Structure 1
Amino acid sequence: MLQAPQDTCFPAAQTLRCPGGRLLDLRRPQVMGILNLTPDSFFEGSRIETETDLLRRAETMLTAGAAVLDLGGYSSRPGAEHISEDEEKRRLLPAVEAVHRAFPEALLSVDTFRAGVAAEAVAAGAAILNDISGGTLDTDMLPTAGRLGVPYILMHMRGTPQNMTQHIHYEGDLVLELVRYFRDKLAVLRQHGVTDVVLDPGFGFAKTPAQSHELLRRLPELRVLGLPILAGLSRKSMVYKPLGLTPDAALTGTVAVNTLALLNGAQLLRVHDVAEAVQTVQLVSNTFPPFPS
């Protein structure tokens, strides 16, 4: 049976301490709303083109009950175009500034794997770093996370968004590989002073739909690490492909897999459709007690 690594257990693991003394309490599941600033997101309905649209969507998500807004300027869909750091900053930083100015109490997360983008985004008002690469695509990211003193979302991925579909073959047990990956990354994060961490299994990132469904079924096994788990399942191929649908028709399927994720211990749902996710959290939390911390 897997045992929690003693040197990577983090204090107050279910509460994230954010800048300004703000806390994100994950003892009850919460919802993170996706604000896409990319022109090529896999879900066309999530793309944002103007500041007016951005602020309208942010307000709608916050009113619906989003605890966090996650802004991203680099598309991480399979085969996405690689863009420069300057282009990512051009897309992302004005958006972070605008949302922070309009909703100063809102917790903003930035979806980036670049340390330079992360540092400027936090200076602009972001409070959480969401790194799809776990520090593998920019060696300065983990030290930067420690220096910035903000919570860090640690995701599992192999390769890059451009080639991750070539890295779907796992010689051993899939979940055991994730546990080992997280264990090793957590040790490095702790060396850099990062103590507030959320684990993201990376559904769909270097994983087939079948592997992602296996991971969803075995999600409780990741709780051995003693940290909150984020489930990013919204409208992904593991939802719509088995149903013969497209992302725009995958809301009902997303609600179904989000329900399974909550029942299996996920504490943060990253979604395009906040109102539906908040309702799902409310119903599941009212019916089933949360996993013990």
Structure 2
Amino acid sequence: MGIVNVTPDSFSDGGQFDDLPRAVEHGLKLVTDGADMLDIGGESTRPGAQPVGEAEEIVRTVPVIEALRHQTGIPISIDTMKPGVARAAFAAGATIWNDVNALRALGALDTAAELNAAVCLMHMKGEPRTMQHAPAYDDVVAEVEAFLLERANAAIAAGIPRNKIWIDPGIGFGKTLQHNLALLRSISSLAEAGFPVLVGASRKRFIAAIDVGSQSDNRLGGSLAVALHAAASGAAILRVHDVRETVQALTVSVAIEGIGE
């Protein structure tokens, strides 16, 4: 899953693709680089991010989705917490709803069912403005898994087919370094719950907590390490900024393992 942030303030690439021509060009490049799907987002969810109004989020994302839909056949995801934005995105050609709020907004479950959407349900403790203010858990792995299964069951009860539900442990969303590492170690267990697991750890701040001081544009090595570990542990989708490098790393890893020979 290649990332296209149409925002001025995303943690890694804010402002780089926040106009239509650059966003579309970047999305098409990610497809050429090997992305199997694109995730379009118009509201930053980095720690401390301020909310964006629904109308502004639609203005940012819908033209990009429309343009990409006319130029590529791969699935397009809308990264939003708002049902109204999801509706507009699906009218423009999106088929996946990637929600960091796990469809907890008023009307979100019913909207997803009505749209016949594939959905990704992510765990987030709190909300973006405050989620990194001393997050605490008794057992982060158990609590995140219980939350995700509860939301998956709520989605099924709302009429969303089980085979259209993905789950995401929410690396960096209300977690300390140790929480993130524990969740990454538990991907294989989470995958056993029976839903495809999406892992989004690309360029995230916890990498700089390990490789002290590395900036968001200098975390490729850490991002690839996580991608390889996640794939080997059973993750089905990797949400990344650096598509070509990730595809190459996975291809070489598969060749070394001799898979398919």
TM-score in terms of structure 1 length: 0.83
Gaps of 5+ in 2: none
Residue of structure 1 equivalent to 2:117: 150
Distance apart, 1:116 and its partner CA:
0.7
1:110-149 superposed matches below 5 A: 110-136=78-104, 138-149=105-116
1:257 CA drift (Å): 1.4
2:45 pairs with 1:76: yes
Alpha-carbon distance in 1 for matches of 2:157, 2:119: 14
Rounded to whole Å, the distance in 2 between the matches of 1:108 and 1:181 is 26
Aligned position for 1:161: 128
Aligned twin of 1:200? 168
1:268-287 equivalent positions in 2, closer than 5 A: 268-287=237-256
Q: Residues 109 and 252 of structure 1: is their aligned pair in 2 closer, same or farther, counting only changes over 3 Å?
A: same
How many Å separate the matches in 2 of 1:122 and 1:109?
A: 9
In 2, Cα distance between the equivalents of 1:121 and 1:250?
31
Q: Which amino acid aligns with 2:204?
A: K
C-alpha contact 2:7 2:14 (8 A) present in aligned 1: no
The DSSP-based 3-state class of the residue aligned with 1:109 is strand
Partner residue, 2:216: 247
- 2:182 corresponds in structure 1 to 214
CA contact (8 A) 1:159 1:167 kept: no
Residues 267 and 284 from structure 1, CA distance in 2 versus in 1: closer, same or farther, beyond 3 angstroms? farther
Q: Report deviation, 1:101.
A: 1.9
Please list, as runs of the form range in 1=range in 2, the aligned pairs for 1:250-269 lying within 5 A after superposition. 250-269=219-238
- Give yes or no for the alignment of 1:33 onto 2:8: no
Tell which has more relative contact order, 1 or 2 (C-alpha 8 A, sep 6+): 1
Distance 2:217 2:19 in 1: 21
Counterpart of 2:150 in structure 1 is 184
Distance 1:39-1:45 versus aligned 2 partners, 3 A rule: closer
How far 1:45 moved relative to its partner? 6.8
Quick one: distance in 1 between partners of 2:61 and 2:205?
25
Contact 1:55–1:102 (Cα < 8 Å) also in 2: no
In 1, Cα distance between equivalents of 2:257 and 2:134:
37
CA distance in 1, matches of 2:69, 2:231: 29
Q: CA contact under 8 A between 1:55 and 1:99: conserved in structure 2?
A: yes
Asked if the contact 2:203–2:216 (Cα under 8 Å) also holds between the matched residues in 1, the reply is: yes
Q: CA deviation at 1:206?
A: 0.6
Counterpart amino acid of residue 197 in structure 1: I
Q: Is the 8 A contact 1:34 1:71 kept in 2?
A: yes
In 1, are the aligned partners of 2:6 and 2:19 still within 8 Å (CA)? Answer: no
Once the 2 structures are TM-superposed, how far is the Cα of residue 144 of structure 1 from its aligned partner? 0.8
Check conservation: 2:5, 2:13, Cα contact below 8 A: no
Gaps of 5+ in 1: 1-31
Deviates more, 1:184-193 or 1:228-237: 184-193
Kindly indicate whether the alpha-carbon contact (under 8 Å) linking 2:191 and 2:235 is maintained by their aligned counterparts in 1.
no
Q: Which amino acid aligns with 1:145?
A: A
TM-score with structure 2 setting the length: 0.93
CA displacement, residues 48-92 of structure 1 (integer Å, 9 cap, x when unaligned): 033221222112111111000000001000000111111111111
Aligned length: 256
- Percent sequence identity over aligned pairs: 37
